[in-house]
Structure formats: structure tokens, C-alpha cells
Structure 1
């Protein structure tokens, strides 16, 4: 039998915390934080709901009622007749709390706290309830203490209805009018306020509690009484003890309540005492809400806080007569400030600034929002009184100097840069990622970086990475003890890093590792040709997942071809208007479709660069990032936001209909020198004509020929704001499948529909790539099954709670299982009615931890390189085999639960070993009986057969574990072999891509691995780096921190894989810059008879000079269509408009300029 101390209960601090937080009027059964026990977690689920305060519970502010308290004297110890009591009332809800402690005659031998029991351990014993109060009784589990603790909550004497009757404005007006009507000639009659009602009521009640008060009645028609109460409050007065009577003259009189003396137990006196407190609180609340501001005093009342305190005496001549009052007010404010911080008057002169701020910070975290405002005001007052800039800065949360920055972060000058960055993260978490806190924290980091001249902090502010630009590769290798980097194998470099980190931790080591990693990456990428290797994507800061997603979409051949040839598939809003079809189960308005089409255009430009750029990496446009993560806004919202100035315009106009600068003149001050060409020219088949020639301001100044129209490299300030918002949205986004689904939906909304399904959903080319039809078979308890069909683009797996494989993870979702969200017991299983060309499987990694907060599941899910989906098809033979597997799995779970019950104990060793240890100890107990008798203690009576019985039970458990292991092995073999054979290998999928994540739920990094089926290699796409994967097991069985956690797996149908995936699509644009033969040394200027070289006559296009170089006096200058006519077709090939064939060498722009000079 468990001891009393081991039974559920609460220690004294926890008991006090729950006591002060409990609101008994808002308690639901089994969720009382004071008496109910916290739910237990058995490894699978909680035993009940969590113990939390219910919504609507009052956040009490208790104030003690000293007249009803019996507190222990200083250093008083508990005795058998001890009875201590404390009474308090909440200012907000007026709930009355009484806490008392006493001791039974058999207890109090060694009351807590003592050396063996430093705290009371209180267990709930009983509860007493009635309509107006509830009492909880507790007992200390220490047998030598046995303290009895009683907690009583009493509801307010005045209910909300009573207060409304007393203070209703219409009722007060009616009472005033009745007094005037009854006594029109009576002077001094005025309408009472709620404050008057509370004040007069409290006075009547207080007078009734005074025993020596001889006058205990007053006329019922008393003017002040009738103004406040009239006749409609009689029922309230009668309930609390007022009596109506007549005097000797026969006039009606109200008699005050007559409680018994204090020594005589009576229920009326405690009620009246509580009522007096309630009325005082109600009056204070009314006065605070209706108080007028203090009248402003001219001159020095405001100026005394602006001038330094040392100059206060010098300024008193302004109004000498008021000097005494000003000094008195100032001293009073300072004393109140010390009192707010809990500093005694005698300690005011001994507390220095550091101690004062320490007291302020210690009280800050335990104060309410109102209390924090009062603390800050008090600290500011003391800072002004002490003329302490340190205190004032702490109170104002300003960060202007290096010292202020360190103080605000809670750091000191000796801490390293990486510690400063860590404190930055702690500060943001404490401030719940408040934008103002974030700005202030970055300001603090910037000041520290400037003062220390720290390149690490400057780099972190600019890029988010703590790197330095000054360390060379040679210095890095020397610091890392690497004599020759060329001789170190890439797979062994990580071990060297770990060794150095242990021996020389710090920012210098991190900096050296970063430099060496970068050098090794550059050398490794140099092995690949730009023609045969994909390009990476440079991150915008928090867009690593978007980069992985874009790389994945680029490898899907039909999707890539559709995006590259978007003009062919683009939905025409101008002629067709808004779509009638739904996309993503929603009707999309025109402004959304327009924004989504801009996104598709951005994606087309990115795909074109990924095909033709020389690499090794390209950076997605800021607009693409914004449109991928932010929701488009309606034109009305755009108008509102433009007027307000603080909203972000996400619905940016399509770049296809905007004009972009094609060339910029040398003199950028003249806006007329900017030649703009509509980017729609790049996508049509019209004949290209060069734009007009810009005019130069200075004679003879040569303008640069027009470059191909490019999208702006530097986003506008508005786009930068959008980019920051998009990065924040990317950082907060945890649902990988939701991002992929949303991006695919936006692409689908931008193209022409091919029709619609019976539910009104749009049919299109992109939907056909990923869409699968799933049938849910619903089996209610005791009813006939029913089916429901729906379309999905991915399969969502449940978070794993133990290492498993992809087949088992799919079975958890698709096989028979109870539906947790159903209103009644329902079992569901799923079958796939159609299989998509590309099967997307989302591996959910987010689950709730024991504290109710989301945590990341890192248990391994082994992926299969080849996946057979026949076992989940809609076939009767397959279904029969699946049902047999369900039964086997049920038995398997039962056996595993039994094994866990036997093996898992609180001692940390398995059950049989625990029984053996207990049996061995019990065998030695009899040897101690003699010793116990010698000291006067009764011997321990242990049954003689108990040790042997435990040994026998241990042997039985070991035998049972052997049987369980054998049965588990047999069941697992049956499940594996159930779907083996060629008849279950017809629907074959090949692993195509895997998304990985490293980090936790709040932060981390994404990358993806994609299989190149044409070249039979795996590549790792990690932002700007694209590397070959040498170990396939790092992808299929990833479980270490370095390998990451798979969060998304993509499979492609084996029979159509060549048609749907093509990871490598490169057609690198070659630079056209042929060398020009050297001119003769005797080159002379052209004779004056020849027209001078006038650059303004050349059209702003590509410049070619043809002819024999020996005939220098007859240069021939011709123009060709600009290179901006190039574009990529849907196959990735470069197409050009017709132009004249080349002759002779090409003269480049710079050489032509030298020739013209």
C-alpha cells in the first residue's frame, strides 16, 4: 500500500498558487485546479483533460481583512491548540476567501516545516458546499504533523442584480423625482450618484457594527436615504438585517441590523463585515472610473520633472510662496515610488542604482499589466529624483549607447558575440516576437557591433549568419589544425570540426569552419560543368523551403513546360471575366487571378534563368517570394492601405503589363534619357524594332547601347517591405503540405480551365499531374457502412511516435482506424480509386508535447526506393487481404502493449529484474529483526513465502516475454508476406524527391534531394549549392541531425516517369564577344575630310562594324535587332528573331568607343 506522502497532493507553494488563482464560480467537473489531480500520461495519451483555468475566471487581486485574521506571531511555532486564520477579499469580483489551519490532538508532534519535511504536503479530504459558499478541507500527509487546512470561498453579499437595483441611473432619477414630488418645498435635494449610494450604504452598515452606538434607527423618510434608496431597495435592506418599525409618534423608522457581540458566534456579523468591504471596493471602483483629472498647476508643477533635481533650489524663486508645497509634493511622490518597489523608508538611502534596478526587474515579471505600468512610473520618478541616466534609460526602454544596449539585452562587456546573438533570441521570446521588441533588439545588436567593430555581428545583422570576411582560408586551416585541405576527405572533415569545437569553442572556430566549408563547396562545384549541372537558388533569408519547392517544380516536365509557355495557357480576364469554376474549393475573384498570373510570370522568368544562366546559382525575384507567401489584396484594400500608409500591397500589378527600363543614359538626372520598352514585346511574335535613341545632354558623349530588358534587380521600398513580410510568413509557416497546395492552387488559378468536375472544381493540366481519388468507407457502430469519395493532391501521414517505415506509416492513415473527430464512435478505412502520375506524401512532423505545446517528431521513417501501391487499391481481393492484416496488426499492438507493461517500470530496469532485486532484499529483512528489537522497534513481518513468490513471478514474466517476442516475429512476417508477389506489384512508383528539415518547430532549415532518372544520380539542392549524393542510405534512412528529417516524399509512376520528370534542363546562353584583331601600331586619325564618328547617329541597339581593318577611313556601322528579342520556348531552347548573317569579327561596345575616340 502506498504511503500517505506518495498519494496525490500538493506542496504548500503549489497549494497557495492554485488557491489564489481558483475561481470556484467558473469550475467545471474534474477540472478544479485546487482539488483535482493533474492527468497522468501513460506513454500514449493523457488520463483526462488538462487542469487549466476556464475562460471567464477572475484574475483575483486579494486584499487581507485584518479584522478577521489571526496571524502567527514572529517565530511562533505550531502547537496542538494552534489555530491560525487569514481572510481576504478580491477587489475585482468581491469573492471572499478564508484560509485557516489547525492541528488535531494526535498530530503536531513535529509540525512542518522541519528538517525531514521542509514543506507541507496537503491532500484533499472533503468538500462542503451550499448556495453561497464552498469549503475545501485538506490534511498534511506527514504523520507527525497532520495539519488540517480549511479553505472557504464565499460569494459576494450583493449580487449583480442587487447592484443594478441600487445604482440604475433611471431608478436614481425616479427616486429623486419622488422626493421632489413628496416634499416640493424641501431644500438641498439633489439626485444621488452610484458613489453616494455605496457611501451611504456603507455608513449604515458600519454604524450597525459599532456596539456602543446608541442611535440605531432613523426616519424612513430621511431625505438622504430616500435620494439613494427610495422604496425599491427595501427587499435588499430586509435581507441583510434592516427592520421597518414605528417610533413613539407613529412615524416609520428604519432600524439598523443588530449583530451579536464579537465573542458570540453569529452569522450576521461576518456578513455585515464582508458587506462593508464590498461597498468600499464598489465605491473605489466607481470613483476611479468617474474621477476627473487633477487640475494642472502652472509653472513649476510640470517644470520640476524637466529640470535636474540638483537645480530645484535654484528655480524656487519663480513662485516662492509655493515652494513649501512643491517640496512636500516632491517628497510624497518619491516616498510613494519607493513604496511601490517595496523598499522600506530606512533603506532608501542605502540602496544604490544597481540594486534599485534589480528590485524593479524582479518585481516586473510577477506583476500584472497595470502593476507593470505603476512599476515603470515609480522607477522613472526615482531616476529623476536621483538624476540617474541609467535608471531613466531602464524605465524608458531606450537603447542609445553601448552600455544601454548591453543592459537592455541583459549582457555584460565580457560576453562573446555569439552569446550576444543568443540573448537576442531570448529577448524576442520573452517579448512574444513583438515587432517593437525586435526593432529595439536589432538596434542593441547594431550598437554593440559598432562599438566592438565586430564583423561577426555586422554579418549577422546583414545576412543572419555569424561569419567574418577577414579570415583567410590559410588562417582558417591553421586554426582548425588542418595542414593540407586537399588531403582531407570531404566525409572526414566533419569529425575534425567536432574535435576543434570541443577544444577551442567560440566564434573564431565557427568562423574558421564557415570559411573551410565554403572553400570545399567551391572546389566541389568546380567539378561540374555548367551545361550538365543544375543551378542553385540563392535564399532571401528565410525562403529555403520555397527554394526547395521551386527546384522540385522545375523537375516536373509538364509543369515546367506549361510555365515556360504560359502565354498559351494563360486565362484571359479581359474577354472572359472571372472564372465560374472553383479552384481549391473557392471561387477566385479577378484581382486574385491577376495576382496569381503575375506569380506565374515571375516563375517563368525564374525557370528561364535556371535554364540559360551560366550559374552556379540564381536568385529568385523579390516579387516571386512575396506573391508565393502573401495573400493578394482586393483593389478596395489596396486603396485603403495606400491611404493609411502602413499596409503592404501584395497585389502587385503584373510585370507583363508594365514597362521596364531597357537602357539608362549616362546622365541619370534626366528622366527623359530613360528608354522604356514594354516587356510584352518579349513574348509576342511581332517584328522587333529598336526603340528611339535617347538624347545626350553633352555633345560627343557616347550612350551605352540598350541592354536586354531585365526585371529590376533592386526592389522598391514597398517590395522590400513585402519581402520582409513574406520572409516572416515563411518563417512562421510550419505546414509543408499547405504551402505546396497553396502554390499549386495559385498556378492553377492563372491558367485556362479544361472543364469542371461535378463539384464545380476546375479541371486543368496541373491537376491531372497530382490528383488522386480516395474513397472513405465509414463504418458507424451498429450501422451499415457508407462511402464518400474525394480528390486529393497528397497523402498526409500522421506524426510518427516510434521508428517505422513508409508502408506502416501509410497503413496508419489508410487502414481501419477510429475517426477522432466524429461525434459518435466511427471506424474509417480508405482506398485509392485512381493513382496519380506523381504521388506526393506529406510526412507530418508536428505533434503536441506533454505540456500541450507543439513539438517536432524526429522518429525515423524509412523510405522505399520502389513503392508498390496495389495494397491500397479499390479491389475486393486486396480488401480481403487488408482486413486480415488489420486483425494481425491489432494482435501485434496488444502484444507490444503487454510487453511494455512487463518491461517498463519506474526503476529504470525491466520488470523481472525488479522482482529479482526486491526478492533478494526481502530475503535479508529477517536479519534486521534482532537489531530492531534491541532499539525498541517492532520487527518487520515479511511472509516467508513472499521472496520465493516474487522469484516465481519473475520467471513467469521472462517466459512470457519470450513467447511475446516469438509471436510478434511471426505476425510481422505474415504482414510483410501478405502482399508479396507479382500480382501486387503492378502499381509501381519510383522515389523522385525528398524534402528534409533540420531544426525545431520554431526555426530550422529546409533542403531537398531529387533523383535524376536520365543520369541515374541523386542531387542535393541546398539553396545555392547543388551537390551529388553519394550515399543513398542518407536519403532512405535519415535519422541523425546532420541527415535531417524527411518531411515530404514524392514518387513517380514507373511506367510514365520519363514523361513526367526531367531534373536536368540546361541550355546555357553563350556570351557573344569575339576578339578584335590588334590594330597596326601606326594607326592614325581619320582625315578631316571624312565625317567624324558621331555616336548619337547610332541607334540604341547592338553595334557591329564590318569591313577590312586596313581600310580604316571607311568604317561601316550597321545595326541588328537587340538581344532582348531572345526568349525560351517551352522546351527550353533559345529562339531568336531573324537577323542578317554575321560577317567578319564583331566589334564590341567598349572597343567601338575606343575606335571612335
Structure 2
């Protein structure tokens, strides 16, 4: 010990030599069976803790890194070898280590880190020491990498990259961890494709396909705008809408007085045209890029995102210093609870063309509006203690986003009759409010630069609200553009927006029990026609298809002033594009929490709307209503037995019987053989009842479909599917499927922000049970409408041919 320590002090440059010989002496003692003195072993351990190493350790380290004649690098480590070369050799060795079995790979990676430290000390290199410091953190294992991304080890690389992008979008705060996991997997698989993706952020195998003329372009994200991207892609696939927007950029200002619009239309147009014209101008520029650019994805302008997400009312509130809008600091979310909302039955008195108080696709609405006189009967007032949400205990038909529906003229403390007459013809109060409204003059508008603070991409209007706003802005801006197809149009279809998206429905509100002599009089009073742009389906239960959901919308029981009434809806006129929103946000009264329903709603390639038409066969309607009532009873019974507060009952009864018959800890006099037998008997009875109810339900469902089997004139084909992925109503990721019409109707595109890929129809129609990625809006096009033109790209070869 004295000799070793003295030599190191006198000749520190040769410390490696002295430690090597000292270590060899101690090791030789062990080999010869003589136990070395403890004081020597302690000194060896102490020196090791001070990063001392032997010549053998250095030789082994160089060998691990690939140095040496005949080794991977085939060179010796000398003064001519740079530090950067050593670092690259270490990185390459780490990559090779991933190819080993997982147990050996972990040990080998640890040894490589030790090897780099030894070489760094040997060369006395600060550069190598810094590299070792950066790389000495515990390396993620193979199992941890796959579990981090929540994928199986056998997943293919295309799906792996898709999931990786979704994970990053869903959890941006975990981006570094996700990238580390993908890096580990790239090295384990020795995948150049994954390495290039990690380096550039682009999938090298997608770039070529995405730039093909037969592929649509993607849209890059501007923050949390995946839902806006889905909406913009959807608008672009609609031929007439795209043409109208693109044409507007060259039409300039036209005289409104040359066109036949009412004074109210003109007032409303002038009030909103500045904001709306900017929306259309930005959309036209984006559509031009989507048609002519030679990149795989284009980026919407920040101005467009601001205009699409901020309504005219938002700007007015900002100009007036109002505090009615909320800005969310949660830039990690695409769906946030912005603040207090009005119950769904309180309506705006704004223009009928603007659906300013429609319910959210996922169940929320953030804007407050003045309440009109009379109650809109499309919600259940007694259930409105949780604004904007669908109540779990009593699902009701969702409200329509365009017009307030039936406004009963029955006695109400807040409603007056006309001329005090008890029987009056119903008025459209929302339209009356528009006609009577005298909007106050707006104050001077602030410069556009200040509007950034109002958006923050965190105002976070959801897709439904964003769509409502965009449609309103487009319609307002295009109001002064003549449309040849509009020349003979009905008075309520005087715009491309109305013509494409709006149909007409008739609503009827009747008491559940009513004397026959009053029926004609009451029905006349409570009939009303309105435009609609969306149909709503409440999503709360499993085992339902789209027809089931729509049936609830068209025939439901609502409560008005404490009285239950039947609200029946029929379709008078169908639009070319039928938009069906699946409302997935539910409210659990027991937990007092909103949640997203992941229930699977079955839908197909085609839907027939004949059964919901006002002109449908009355006899079939009557038979259908009777079958539907019995089917509802069966399903309610099944729901109570399987999904009620204490359900499912059959397993609970069985587990109770098993516990009582097997536990030996407590003495329970009542838990005798008779009780156990009775519990098992009750379990068998519940199982039997469930089987009967399910069999009856299936039979009635089949019988119901048989009634309408021959009615297939009002046929619509599925063209677009919006998907929300996430387990919470407060955050998630949006993407969009579109059918390749008219060229290849069997082909579908998946738009996931900047990435557009071809997918099968099976993926679009897949059963999503157990998944958090499920549809929240379906779009069907009337089969004879020819309104969709999915891929619209400029082909430069046409110029060459010309």
C-alpha cells in the first residue's frame, strides 16, 4: 500500500501502470487461494470509486468501442484519433448493442458507458467527459420504450409512427420521453426509416406518396388546431363551396342593391362583412395553395385560424372591453370547459343562418346569449342543472343548432299571448327577434394585431362551434355574390351555404294525453317548420345503431313547465349534405362530473332517410312507432339490469353467493344454504330475463327494419367522418376521414394534420368498442347530389400537353 501510494504521488503520469500492478498483486492473491488482507481490498475499492482503471480495463474498453486491428474500426487509438471520432464510435457501439437480446443489451450499454469514461480519463479529454456525462443517464429499456408508446412489440412501422404522432399531440409535455422511446425502438429494429423520421420529423416513405397528384394535401398545425384542420379539409372536399370561395377572390365588391335582399339582410351583412370577408379571403388563399402548391402539406395562416375561431361577437366584446369571453391557458387541450354556459333550451335571437347557441359536438357551448320569450322545447328544462351536458339518467333529444324549435304558447310566467287569445297561431320568435332587432353602432375596431390576445388558440371553441362560425362567416361574405343556381331558389335557400347544408323540418309538440276534440286545435298551434343544418344523436348506450339514435331525435318525450309532452320531428326537405352530430359528452349525477361516452354507434356506408320524412307512409309510421315503443321498453330493461347504479346484477348475485358459501372468518347466521341457493336462483333468473330481453330486442329491431325495407328513395352515402380521440371531454385529438369521390368511391383518405394516407373502408366503419378514438360527426351526401370532389389538385402536365 505504501509503495503504491508513494509511486502515484511521485509519478502521477503513470498512475495507470501503478494501479494495474497493485491490482494484479491483490488479484493474484485471490487466484492462489490466499485471502488478501482486508485493508488491500478496501484500497482497491476506494481507488475504483475514484475512477482508477487498469491496462486490461483500457484494452477491454477500446475493444468494446471497436478499436484495434481486425476489430470493427480496424484502427488503434492514438493521438491522431479525434475526440469526435471516439464519440461517434461510442454511439455506433450503442446502436449495435440494441441488436442484442434485451437482457444482454442493457449490460452491454452500461459497459459501453464505462468504456467511454475510461477512454476519456486516459486521454484526459473534457470533450469526452462531457459526452459521457450526457450519456450516462439510465437508458430506457426495450419493454419501457414500447409501454411508453403503448404499442405491442410486433406493431409495424407505419402504425408505430401514426401512434407516436398521436401520443405527441395528446401529451405534448411528454414529447421528450416519447422521442426517447421511439429512438430506442429505432435502434432495436435497426430501422433507417425511424431514424430519418426522428431526425427530420417526416416519414421518408410518405413523402413520395403524399406529393402524388391523386393524394390530397395535408395541413400543418398552428398549435392546437387539429380540429380546425379537419374542418378546413372537409370544406375543401365540397365542390360548390370550394368554387364559391375561390371565385369570391376575383369578384370584388358588388352592389347589394342590385340583388333582392331585405333591409334586415343588408343591415346584418354590413355589420359582419369586414370579419366575414377576411375569413373567405383567407380561405380562398388556402384553397389555392391546396390546389397548386407542390408540397405534401400546406400551412393555414394564423390570421385564418384567428378568424375561424373568433366570432364576430368575440371581436365586439373585445372592442367594448367586455369580459364575456374566456381564454384558456390550457394549450394542451382541444376541448376545454371555457366557463359558465346557458342551458341548451335558451336560444340566441340572432340571425337564423347563424347557429350561435348550438350544443357542442362533445356536449358544451361556451357563449352566453340573451334569452328569447318562450321556452324552446328541445331539451328538458328540469334536467338543466348542468348546462350544456346530456344527462345520464334521462337522455333527451339534442337541440337543433340553427333555429329555436317549437315555442309553446301555453300559460307561462314569462310568455304573453297575442291579444290575450288562448289559441294563437305559433310565431317564429327567433325570426321576429331578428326583424325587430336594431343593432347598436359598433365602436371603432381595434387594429388586427390586438386580436392575438383574444384567441390564444386557447379560446378553444370546439369543432361544432368553429363550424357554425365558419359557415356563418362564409354565408355573410358571399351574400353579395350572385349565384346562377340561386336564381329560382326558395326564399330560405338564397346562399351556397343554405343550399348545401340546410334542410327543412317540421316539429310538433303535443301532450301525452289529450282529448280528441282538442287534438286538431292543439296540433295546429304547436306545428312549426324550421331550417336545420345538423341532426343530433345522443350517445350514451352501447348496442345502438344510427337509426336508433335518429329515432330518439325524431320522436321524444320532453318536459315543459313540469308537464311531459311528445315532440315529433319530420323532415320536409332534405339537404344535399346531411350532417349528423354524435353528442358524446354525458353528465353523471352521482359523481357530478362530465365524461365522454365511448359507446360504439353502428353506422354503414349508406343511410336511408325515408322513414323520417314528413311524407312517409302513415301506416308504416304507426307500425314503426308501436314497435319502437316495445323495443325501448326491452332496451330500458336491459340497461337497468346491466348498467344501472348497482348493476350488473347477475354477476353481483353470483359473487355474493360464492363469498357467503366460502368465507370462514365471520359467523353470519343468515348466510345458510337456503340463502345461498336463493341467491344462485335469483342469479339464474336475472340471466334468463336478460337473454329473453335481448332476444326480444333483436327480434323487434329486425321487425322494425323490415317495415322500412322497401323505402330507399332518400338514399345518402357516407362521405366524411370526424374522429375525436381521447378519454376525456376536456382534451384529445381530432382527425378526419373523407371518401374519394367521385373517382374512387371505395377508397378513403385519413387526414391527420400534415399527414394524409389511404385507408380501407373497414377502418372507417370499424367497431370502436373499447377505443377512445370514435366518430363525433358523420356526413352523408345525397346519392344524386354530386356535391363532393375530394381530390382537387392542379396537374402541371396539362400545361405541357397544351
Shorter-chain TM range is 0.5 to 0.7
Contact 1:581–1:762 (8 Å) recurs in 2: no
Contact 2:750–2:756 (8 Å) recurs in 1: yes
SS at match of 2:698: helix
1-structure distance, mates of 2:154, 2:685? 62
Work out whether 1:970 is the aligned partner of 2:638: no
Corresponding residue for residue 831 of structure 1: 570
Root-mean-square deviation (Å): 4.9
CA deviations on 1:130-188 (whole Å, 9 max, x unpaired) are: xxxxxxxxxxxxxxxxxxxxxxxxxxxxxxxxxxxxxxxxxxxxxxxxxxxxxxxxxxx
* Deviation for aligned residue 1:768: 0.8
Corresponding residue for residue 218 of structure 2: 536
Q: 1:611 aligns with which of 284, 288, 291?
A: 291
Contact 1:592–1:633 (8 Å) recurs in 2: no
Q: Compared with structure 1, are the counterparts of its residues 1066 and 778 closer, same or farther at alpha carbon in structure 2 (3 Å cutoff)?
A: same
Contact 2:580–2:778 (8 Å) recurs in 1: yes
Contact 1:1010–1:1018 (8 Å) recurs in 2: yes
Contact 2:221–2:753 (8 Å) recurs in 1: yes
Corresponding residue for residue 309 of structure 2: 629
Corresponding residue for residue 596 of structure 2: 856
CA deviations on 1:956-1005 (whole Å, 9 max, x unpaired) are: 55544443343233212212322113xx1111111111111123322222
1-structure distance, mates of 2:176, 2:770? 21
Q: How many residues align?
A: 501
Contact 1:770–1:836 (8 Å) recurs in 2: yes
Q: Compared with structure 1, are the counterparts of its residues 488 and 579 closer, same or farther at alpha carbon in structure 2 (3 Å cutoff)?
A: same
Q: 1:751 aligns with which of 475, 478, 487?
A: 478
Q: Compared with structure 1, are the counterparts of its residues 621 and 835 closer, same or farther at alpha carbon in structure 2 (3 Å cutoff)?
A: same
Q: Compared with structure 1, are the counterparts of its residues 581 and 880 closer, same or farther at alpha carbon in structure 2 (3 Å cutoff)?
A: farther
Contact 1:525–1:1027 (8 Å) recurs in 2: no
Corresponding residue for residue 768 of structure 2: 1039
* Deviation for aligned residue 1:905: 8.8
Work out whether 1:914 is the aligned partner of 2:668: no
* Deviation for aligned residue 1:865: 0.8
1-structure distance, mates of 2:293, 2:205? 20
Work out whether 1:513 is the aligned partner of 2:182: yes
Work out whether 1:1003 is the aligned partner of 2:731: yes
1-structure distance, mates of 2:465, 2:620? 33
Work out whether 1:562 is the aligned partner of 2:230: no
Q: 1:1018 aligns with which of 745, 748, 757?
A: 748
Work out whether 1:992 is the aligned partner of 2:731: no
TM-score, with length taken from structure 1: 0.38
CA deviations on 1:921-977 (whole Å, 9 max, x unpaired) are: 58999xx9xxx9xxxxxx958999767666665565554444334323321221232
Corresponding residue for residue 766 of structure 1: 497
* Deviation for aligned residue 1:855: 2.2
Q: Compared with structure 1, are the counterparts of its residues 902 and 591 closer, same or farther at alpha carbon in structure 2 (3 Å cutoff)?
A: closer
* Deviation for aligned residue 1:917: 5.8
Work out whether 1:789 is the aligned partner of 2:529: yes
Contact 1:570–1:750 (8 Å) recurs in 2: no
Contact 1:819–1:825 (8 Å) recurs in 2: yes
- The gaps in structure 1 that reach 5 residues or longer are 1-467, 500-504, 642-646, 648-716, 933-938, 1071-1132, 1136-1140, 1142-1157
SS at match of 1:1067: coil
2-structure distance, mates of 1:721, 1:490? 42
1-structure distance, mates of 2:281, 2:223? 23
TM-score, with length taken from structure 2: 0.54
2-structure distance, mates of 1:829, 1:594? 40
The structure that has the greater radius of gyration is 1
* Deviation for aligned residue 1:546: 1.4
Contact 1:1038–1:1044 (8 Å) recurs in 2: no
2-structure distance, mates of 1:634, 1:921? 63
Which residues of 2 match residues 470-485 of structure 1 at below 5 A?
Answer: none
SS at match of 1:776: strand
* Deviation for aligned residue 1:885: 2.7
* Deviation for aligned residue 1:836: 1.1
1-structure distance, mates of 2:699, 2:317? 64
* Deviation for aligned residue 1:914: 2.4
Q: Compared with structure 1, are the counterparts of its residues 826 and 489 closer, same or farther at alpha carbon in structure 2 (3 Å cutoff)?
A: same
Work out whether 1:526 is the aligned partner of 2:208: yes
2-structure distance, mates of 1:636, 1:507? 41
Q: Compared with structure 1, are the counterparts of its residues 906 and 1054 closer, same or farther at alpha carbon in structure 2 (3 Å cutoff)?
A: closer
1-structure distance, mates of 2:556, 2:723? 28
Q: Compared with structure 1, are the counterparts of its residues 582 and 511 closer, same or farther at alpha carbon in structure 2 (3 Å cutoff)?
A: farther
2-structure distance, mates of 1:480, 1:871? 52
Corresponding residue for residue 792 of structure 2: 1065
Q: 1:871 aligns with which of 611, 626, 633?
A: 611
SS at match of 2:744: coil
CA deviations on 1:280-306 (whole Å, 9 max, x unpaired) are: xxxxxxxxxxxxxxxxxxxxxxxxxxx
1-structure distance, mates of 2:164, 2:753? 25
Work out whether 1:490 is the aligned partner of 2:150: no
Which is helix-richer, 1 or 2? 2
2-structure distance, mates of 1:1008, 1:564? 23
Which residues of 2 match residues 212-227 of structure 1 at below 5 A?
Answer: none
Work out whether 1:800 is the aligned partner of 2:469: no
Corresponding residue for residue 550 of structure 2: 810
Contact 1:861–1:1037 (8 Å) recurs in 2: no
Q: Compared with structure 1, are the counterparts of its residues 921 and 885 closer, same or farther at alpha carbon in structure 2 (3 Å cutoff)?
A: same
Identify the structure with bigger relative contact order (alpha carbons < 8 Å, sequence gap 6+). Answer: 2
Contact 1:806–1:863 (8 Å) recurs in 2: yes
Q: Compared with structure 1, are the counterparts of its residues 525 and 866 closer, same or farther at alpha carbon in structure 2 (3 Å cutoff)?
A: farther
SS at match of 2:230: helix
Q: Compared with structure 1, are the counterparts of its residues 729 and 589 closer, same or farther at alpha carbon in structure 2 (3 Å cutoff)?
A: farther
SS at match of 1:867: strand
Corresponding residue for residue 300 of structure 2: 620
Which residues of 2 match residues 325-336 of structure 1 at below 5 A?
Answer: none
- The gaps in structure 2 that reach 5 residues or longer are 1-133, 168-173, 184-193, 322-326, 328-445
1-structure distance, mates of 2:316, 2:551? 48
SS at match of 1:1064: coil
2-structure distance, mates of 1:628, 1:1047? 20
Q: Compared with structure 1, are the counterparts of its residues 752 and 728 closer, same or farther at alpha carbon in structure 2 (3 Å cutoff)?
A: closer
Contact 1:778–1:828 (8 Å) recurs in 2: yes
Contact 2:210–2:756 (8 Å) recurs in 1: no
Contact 1:1034–1:1043 (8 Å) recurs in 2: no
2-structure distance, mates of 1:621, 1:1063? 22
1-structure distance, mates of 2:165, 2:319? 55
2-structure distance, mates of 1:854, 1:507? 31
CA deviations on 1:822-848 (whole Å, 9 max, x unpaired) are: 653210121111111111112222222
